[in-house]
Chain A
């Protein structure tokens, strides 16, 4: 399932906002996918956005409990990254809930 989310339009011309935005693909797994209803989301985010800001753009404010939020790990382009990692245009980001392989 593919869903497009757009940031609410604020100040400025549409072209400026487009120029300053990046597009990232976000993948959701396990309980995060169940909660959101999406397995893949394309997001348009402002430059400077960090990976840890993504759940807040996908889930409504009360959609994730603080302890759920704290347990999410992030991967960008198949590598685990720190939650402070800045996004780049075209990144594929995975929100990784606690794993349970084996």
Chain B
């Protein structure tokens, strides 16, 4: 199985978790990023991700390689889902396995931050009030439907 994956289908979390089992590892940390029903006080109706897939796969593989070089971990897997994702389902999965817990926690947290910073993946949210926007982590590129049509 691939160690990094981008898929339009639901992420098979239990299958990925099973891949992490290793008698030498006393710790497995898995992080699932789930789709929330609200953003900055607005109710989210729909959410979808798009990506520049060939580059995103490369960026995720680079993040994995760097994490494996930086921490004493036996394995690190990354899966990201794209397309429309229902509220409550996983958009991203990061799993790290190590002999002791500290390395797996740190590597998983770092990998997740790197994914948010570097992976060419974008999130589009549609709200109950009829507006929609491309979400940004810190500042927000917002436009209503009217502006989007005019653009």
Residues of A within 8 A of B (CB): 27, 29-31, 34-35, 68, 75, 78-80, 94, 96-102
A99 touching B55, Cβ below 8 Å: no
Cβ contact within 8 Å between A99 and B119: yes
Please, how many angstroms separate the alpha-carbon atoms of A98 and B30 in the complex? 26
Most buried by B among A34, A79, A94, A102: A102
**B residues 118-149 touching A (CB-CB < 8 Å):** 118-124, 134-137, 139, 141, 143, 148
B88-139 residues at the A interface, CB under 8 angstroms: 91-92, 112, 115-124, 134-137, 139
- Which partner residue on chain B sits nearest A80 by CB separation? B118
A75-B55, A98-B137, A101-B122 given; 14 more Cβ-contact pairs under 8 Å: A29-B50, A29-B122, A30-B122, A34-B134, A34-B148, A79-B55, A98-B141, A99-B119, A99-B120, A99-B122, A100-B122, A101-B51, A101-B80, A101-B121
Q: Which of B119, B135, B141 has the most CB of A within 10 A?
A: B141
CA distance A58 to B35 in the complex (A): 34
- Contacts A31-B141, A100-B136, A101-B92; is A94 near B120 (CB within 8 Å)? yes
CA distance A26 to B124 in the complex (A): 21
CA distance A78 to B120 in the complex (A): 10
Cα(A34)–Cα(B146), bound, Å:
12
**Chain A positions within 8 Å of B119 at CB level:** 99, 101-102
CA separation between A79 and B62, bound complex, in Å? 11
Contact between chains at B141 and A101 (CB < 8 Å): no
Q: Chain B nearest CB: distance from A85 CB in Å?
A: 15
Known contacts A29-B52, A35-B151, A75-B55; is-contact A100 B137 (Cβ 8 Å): yes
- Docked CA distance A27–B148 (Å): 19
CB distance from A51 to the nearest CB of B (A): 14
Chain B residues whose C-beta falls within 8 Å of the C-beta of A79 in the assembled complex: 55, 58
Using Cβ atoms and an 8 Å threshold, which residues of chain A touch B58? 78-79
In whole angstroms, how far apart are the Cα atoms of A29 and B52 in the complex?
A: 8
User: Can you pick out 19 interface pairs between chain A and chain B where the beta carbons lie within 8 Å of each other?
Assistant: A30-B122, A30-B134, A75-B120, A78-B54, A78-B55, A78-B58, A79-B58, A96-B52, A98-B136, A99-B118, A99-B119, A100-B116, A100-B122, A100-B134, A101-B115, A101-B116, A102-B115, A102-B116, A102-B119
